[in-house]
Amino acid sequence: MSLYHLSNEYLSVSISDKGAELQSIVHNGTGFEYMWSGNPDYWAKKSPVLFPIVGGLKNNTYQYGRNTYLLGRHGFARDRFFSVVDQSVDSILFSLASDTESLLVYPFQFVFQIGYQLDKNSIQVSYRIVNTDTKELYFSVGAHPAFAVPFVKDTVFEDYYLAFNQREYTGIWPLSPEGLIKEDAVSFFENQDTITLQKSLFYGDALVFKSLRSDSISILCHKHAHGIKVAYQQFPYMGIWSAKNADFICIEPWCGIADHVNTSGKIEEKEGIHSLHAGEQFIRNWSVTVF
Sequence letter at residue 209: F
- Residue 247's SS3 state is coil
Residues 178/276, Cβ–Cβ less than 8 Å: no
Which residues constitute the domain of residue 200? 3-290
CATH number at 265 reads 2.70.98.10
Whole-structure pTM value: 0.96
Residues 51/258, Cβ–Cβ less than 8 Å: no
Sequence letter at residue 243: A
pLDDT digits (tens, 9 = 90+) for 168-226: 999 999 999 999 999 999 999 999 999 999 999 999 999 999 999 999 999 999 999 99
Q: What whole-number distance in Å separates Cα of residue 40 and Cα of residue 56? A: 21
Residues of the chain with pLDDT under 50: none
- Nearest Cα to Cα of residue 210 among 176, 160, 261, 174: 174
Q: Quickly list DSSP for 122-138.
A: EEEEEEEEEE-SSS-EE
Number of domains in the chain: 1
